[in-house]
Structure 1
Amino acid sequence: MTELVVISLEPWDDVWRRNQYVIDGLLRSDPGLRVLFVEPGPDPLYDLRTGRRPRRGAGLRVEDGYEGRLMLLTPTKWLPRALGPASDRMLRRSVTRAVKRLRWVQPVLWINDPLWAASAASTGWPTLYDMTDDWVEASRAGRISSRLRGGDAALMRDADRVVVCSDELARSRGRLREVRLIPNAVDVARYRRPAARPSDLPDIPVAVYVGTLHEDRLDVDLCVQCGQALDDANAMLVLVGPNALSASNAQRLATARGVVLLGGKPFDAVPGYLQHATTLVVPHVITTFTDSLDPLKLYEYLAVGRPIVSTPVAGFRDASYAQVTIADRTDFLGTVVASVLADEPPYDVPAALPTWDQRVREFREVIEGLVDDRR
């Protein structure tokens, strides 16, 4: 029996990301695995300061569909981190209490969030640091940036294994220590299975973007301009994904001509939006942060066979596939409009697209190595 505690950057919800695909695959392929998935906790004091109703974390509960082997824990962040280390100590205690309640002795610790770095030393559990983004390079306020850098440095020093998702992270972190590269993937069969056109997808030619809307990735100015150019061509830019933008940028996109925001969609509904796009787009900024990414959408876009227009962002700019067109910022609008008006037929799916089954096997090797080290 193997126990795994996952400190996640995102909740376990129906908008799936890398760690949910991997954890789901691990649980379904190993009946002896049990997982405690720790979600980001609500901050009641922040809610009060911003005029929202204070919320508490949902605590420990069992997720459906895994025979009781997937537990979710949503702690409550009772104190702001600005007051010192007490806030993080309270969050860590909520995890160790849950582990004791489950009667686990020494689980494997899987950390996505570098702000939880002290858990590796405080618990003594075998630790995997899984880097899905280089948050050290993200644009954050000085205090948060300092904590992210400190947490990343501690995990690079203290974690027993480090997994990275992109070639750039393998290069930058591989100069510091041994790391293992495990990129993203896609469930090809699910994305190729024909889906009905979603009812909220506009019934005109559409350029579709699927992914979390965030200033760290999305070029908001370019999206506004793209919507206007498409509207002039009787087409539209459709943004599908959770909205993590600032209030001002969210308002700009919500009111922009030729742009529609559809919000986050369940992972099993996403293939329909991609399959029925006229063109798939990636209007991303080019920064040190985005250069560290291995975009999940690269694999999902390729799997549905629709034409793709992307700014020269990591992943896409290195993809040698006929359906991918790279356009810098000055050419992006014209290239997108031309692609939408051309309404190209579907492309064949690349034969070598990696699957989540492959990635699950690779992560299992890492976890088994940690378990063997513990023994």
Structure 2
Amino acid sequence: MTQARILFLSHSHPFGPFRVGSHHYARVLSERGADVVHLSTPISLAHRVTGRVSRQDLAAVPRHPQREANGVLHIVPRTALPAPVGAPRVARMLERAGIPAGFDAVLIDQPLLWDDSVRSLAETVVYRPTDLYPAGVKNRLQQQIVDAADGVIATSDEVLRGLGSLRVPSLVLSNGADVARFAPPVGADTARDARCVYVGALDDRFDWERVVAWARAHPQVRFAIAGPEASAPHTVPANVELLGAVPYAEVPALLHTARVGLLPLSDNPLNAGRSPMKLYEYLAAGLAVVARETPGIRERSDVGIEVYTNESDADAALERALRHPSPNQAGRDAAADASWEHRTDALQDFLRAVRRRAE
């Protein structure tokens, strides 16, 4: 059987503190025997000069294609101008890296990487939107991708609805978890202390005010906040610890010290389309979860997911999560059903169906 060749065109590279869905799909597909190339958003001279990419972050990103132990070949191009203003076409970036065309499938989640050369790289092109793009250049490029793609795999119902009417097959496939990586150590079944943890981005989608309010209302509970540039907008209570960026390899051990995982989403309307990877990573690590309710995050008290809608019910949701059995075995069982292996099964089934439709 000919080895399948898969190209991911992704918004994020794997050389920082975060892992995104494309990294996990690429890993599992490579472990299953595919030849996988993962090309991420170029780092431009403009990014470097303006400080949008720090020297420290830049130093962690290899200049040349790098193959991980799992077999995935990662490419993070260096360009003079940012995509899509003046960066080379994707076909040209691959050529410069010594990568031949002729892929079986391209999965693109970064609208800024779209150009008409992408369509020529593979028999099957699938758009995998992970966010809402209601306006701007990403919205314009997204429409071009949808018009040219053979199928769409969205990470949430809201993201799929945001695309409007589609002429091609579509699937909603939410983010999952690397269950084996996040599982607690064998025998670690002692109830955990009253500690809450958040790991992720600390941008305008994160509700600092909610965390501060929780900490003030529950001085006996400790709150650990991990993320790049972990600076709160104002002074935080003494029971809030700002950890900064935590390397991905160290995140499971951090989660194993906590009882509850936090998803304090702000009222940013783009949060409606999110499929937070941390939801299932928290559960896989044995935590209960407290989250602001969104179309993609609903209450499931049986597995330890407690939600709130506003200030009036946020404290009660946290208290329910703190009372949930610890470690959260029901949550771990639910996370197992959302493993990246299971998600990749569904992705491969979709790709096969799209190819059959085209024949």
Q: TM-score range by the shorter chain?
A: 0.7 to 0.9
Counterpart of 2:95? 97
The 2-side partners of 1:240 and 1:209 are apart by 6
Work out whether residues 197 and 258 of structure 2, in 8 Å CA contact, stay in contact via their aligned partners in 1: yes
Per the TM alignment, residue 120 of structure 1 is displaced from its structure 2 partner at its CA by 5.5
Per the TM alignment, residue 256 of structure 1 is displaced from its structure 2 partner at its CA by 2.2
Counterpart of 1:295? 276
Whether 2:109 is the aligned partner of 1:112: answer yes
Q: Which amino acid aligns with 2:203?
A: H
How does 1:182-193 map onto structure 2 within 5 Å? Answer: 182-193=173-184
Q: Deviations over 1:263-322 (max 9, x none)?
A: 333444323322321322221124442121222222222333433222223333253535
How does 1:234-249 map onto structure 2 within 5 Å? Answer: 234-243=220-229
TM-score (norm 2): 0.81
Whether 2:249 is the aligned partner of 1:265: answer no
The 1-side partners of 2:234 and 2:279 are apart by 25
Q: Which amino acid aligns with 1:251?
A: S
Counterpart of 2:213? 225
Per the TM alignment, residue 234 of structure 1 is displaced from its structure 2 partner at its CA by 3.5
Counterpart of 1:42? 43
Counterpart of 1:160? 150
Structure 1, unaligned runs of 5 or more: 138-144, 198-202, 244-249
Work out whether residues 280 and 306 of structure 1, in 8 Å CA contact, stay in contact via their aligned partners in 2: yes
The 1-side partners of 2:187 and 2:264 are apart by 26
Match of 2:120 among 111, 118, 123: 123
Counterpart of 1:327? 308
Work out whether residues 292 and 307 of structure 2, in 8 Å CA contact, stay in contact via their aligned partners in 1: yes
Counterpart of 1:72? 74
Counterpart of 2:288? 307
More helix by share: 1
Per the TM alignment, residue 37 of structure 1 is displaced from its structure 2 partner at its CA by 1.1
The 2-side partners of 1:307 and 1:193 are apart by 13
Per the TM alignment, residue 328 of structure 1 is displaced from its structure 2 partner at its CA by 3.0
Match of 2:64 among 60, 66, 82: 60
Q: Deviations over 1:37-62 (max 9, x none)?
A: 11222222343244966969744323
Per the alignment, in what secondary structure is the counterpart of residue 198 of structure 2?
strand
Per the TM alignment, residue 73 of structure 1 is displaced from its structure 2 partner at its CA by 1.3
How does 1:127-166 map onto structure 2 within 5 Å? Answer: 127-134=125-132, 136-137=133-134, 145-166=135-156
The 1-side partners of 2:44 and 2:283 are apart by 38
Aligned residues: 344
The 2-side partners of 1:36 and 1:322 are apart by 36
Counterpart of 2:350? 366
Q: Deviations over 1:211-230 (max 9, x none)?
A: 22221x21122233334434
Change (3 A) 1:98 1:359: farther
Per the TM alignment, residue 171 of structure 1 is displaced from its structure 2 partner at its CA by 4.0
Counterpart of 1:251? 231
Work out whether residues 27 and 72 of structure 2, in 8 Å CA contact, stay in contact via their aligned partners in 1: no
Per the alignment, in what secondary structure is the counterpart of residue 147 of structure 1?
helix
Match of 2:13 among 8, 11, 14: 11
Per the alignment, in what secondary structure is the counterpart of residue 349 of structure 1?
helix
Q: Which amino acid aligns with 1:26?
A: L
Structure 2, unaligned runs of 5 or more: none
Match of 1:210 among 195, 199, 220: 199
Q: Which amino acid aligns with 1:116?
A: L
Work out whether residues 282 and 289 of structure 2, in 8 Å CA contact, stay in contact via their aligned partners in 1: yes
State, as a whole percentage, how many aligned pairs show the same letter: 21
Per the TM alignment, residue 87 of structure 1 is displaced from its structure 2 partner at its CA by 0.7
Match of 1:175 among 139, 145, 165: 165
Per the alignment, in what secondary structure is the counterpart of residue 196 of structure 2?
strand
Work out whether residues 255 and 285 of structure 2, in 8 Å CA contact, stay in contact via their aligned partners in 1: yes
CA RMSD of aligned residues (A): 3.4
Change (3 A) 1:11 1:337: same
Counterpart of 1:247? none
